[in-house]
Each structure stands twice: as C-alpha cells, then as structure tokens.
Structure 1
C-alpha cells in the first residue's frame, strides 16, 4: 500500500499578525507512521528566494533537513513531533522579529 497524505493545509497569516502563510503536508504509511513531511513558513516580503520559503523542514531527497532563508542544512531526526516543535519555534520567532 502506498503512503497516504493525511494533512494538506495552507494557513494564510494576516499582515497584522506577520503576513505570509504556513504550509503543512504529512504522509503516513499503513501503520500510521509519518514517512514524509513538508512544513514551511512562506513570506515573500522576508525572503524572495526558495519560492518564498523563509523557514521549513522536510525529508525530501533522502534526508531530514531545514531550510532557513535559502540555506539548507541537515537536522537530527529523533521524531516527527520534535521536527514540528522546531518548526513552530522557528516561525514564531521570525514572526516576532521587528
């Protein structure tokens, strides 16, 4: 059985609250384990490169990594919940940056 996408959300953030959008895509296998993910904060006003992705986490290309203003770096994967927490902390910190 092929993996199935269980989350495919785009949340638009108002200009007053920081602008941009949050994108979440999550796939699971038959046992419900996360096999693929793409979490991204997109805001062209902050970063025009990387399709507007200011910060994001995904496991495309065979490894877990973080995008941050166009720079891609491998991250240690201890579990999907930790990746979600890291993403939440990153984009929240950017939102509050003057």
Structure 2
C-alpha cells in the first residue's frame, strides 16, 4: 500500500497595506508537499481584504482559491470558476487584478 502524502503549509504571508497602497490586507496561503525534489501545491488561497471597499464576504474584495474541489475567483461577493494553468499564473493574475483594483479605487486609469 502506498504511503499517504502529508500536506504541509508551504507559505503563509499577510501584508497590512498603507492607505496610499489601497489599504486593507493581502493574504497568501499555500499548502502541499515535496516529492522527488519538486513542490506539489494541493491547496491555495490568495485574498485582498478591505472592509472599507467591500463589507460582504468577510471583506474579501478579490480572491483566488481551490476550495470546494474547483479553482475559482471571488470578486466583491461574486464567485466564478476559473481555468487553472499553474500556481505561478494564478499568483500573477491575482497581483495584476489587485493592482488594477487599487488604481481604479484611486481614480487612476491604466
């Protein structure tokens, strides 16, 4: 019988943002395991939380995660399925969208 792989917390970060950076919190949480020198991500949660911008969904303005057995995006209380290509691509998309939200909130244009 194959040995069960134990998921461990690989990364957990929380950044409190100054108001000039949009305020709120950026939270990253990644779970997985190491196998043959490679990191395998099994679960992730990326979130921008700002209660001043959005009060629903515990203040989560933007988020990406793979809870409930599918990859999805949260935006101001709306949840939509997303295509998943890689952890890096999801993280990059989250960063780009978060920056765009801050710009729009400040009245800046792209």
Q: TM-score, normalised by structure 2?
A: 0.86
Query: Where in structure 2 are the equivalents of 1:32-51 lying within 5 Å?
Result: 32-51=39-58
1:90 aligns with 2:100: no
Paired with 1:61 and 1:29, the residues of 2 have a C-alpha distance of 20
Q: 2:70 aligns with which of 48, 63, 72?
A: 63
Moved over 3 A (4+): none
What is the aligned-residue RMSD (CA, Å)? 0.8
Counterpart residue number, 2:18 = 14
User: Which of the pair has more CA radius of gyration?
Assistant: 2
How far apart are 1:29 and its partner, in Å? 2.1
Aligned length: 98
In 1, distance between residues paired with 2:87 and 2:59?
Answer: 23
Runs of 5+ consecutive residues of structure 2 not aligned to the other structure: none
Deviation track 1:27-77 (CA, whole Å, cap 9, x = no partner) reads 112321111000000001110000000000000000000000000000001
In the alignment, which residue of structure 2 is the partner of 1:23? Answer: 27
TM-score under structure 1 length normalisation: 0.96
Flag structure 1 segments of 5+ consecutive residues without an equivalent: none
